[in-house]
Amino acid sequence: MSGSQTPAPPPPEECPTGLQSFAVQLRRMTGEFNRIVQEFAQAHGLHHTDMLALIAILDGGGPDTPMTPGRLRKQLNLTSGAMTACLDRLERAGHIRRVR
């Protein structure tokens, strides 16, 4: 008998379709994504909320559906004052431009 044996797969009730393995990989990917976002935010002097707003703006509705402060506020669940402060920071930093 050789020294290398393949470990037995987990019992079906523990990992019916590789779902547990997928969940672990998804958590690792999410952690890495969050680390990259945090590094970008720190490098550009942005708050976490600013990053969420930028992502939402970039993912917005497209050219026919512009992102409005009201839509963004609802999406991020912020007060109107917090949304205004966030947009002011993003505009001062040159990341967005507001138009009527």
> How would you write the pLDDT of the chain (100 residues) with one tens digit per residue?
555 566 665 554 555 678 888 999 999 999 999 899 889 889 988 888 999 999 999 888 677 777 899 999 999 999 999 999 999 999 998 989 888 7
- Both tokens of 41, joined, read 């935010």
Q: Which of 61, 65, 53, 63 is nearest to 96 (CA)?
A: 53
Report the predicted TM-score, pTM, of the whole model to 2 decimal places.
Answer: 0.64
pLDDT given at position 64: 75
> DSSP string of 35-85?
HHHHHHHHHTT--HHHHHHHHHHHTSS-TTSPPPHHHHHHHHT--HHHHHH
pLDDT given at position 86: 95
Contacts of 84 (CB under 8 A, 6+ apart): 69
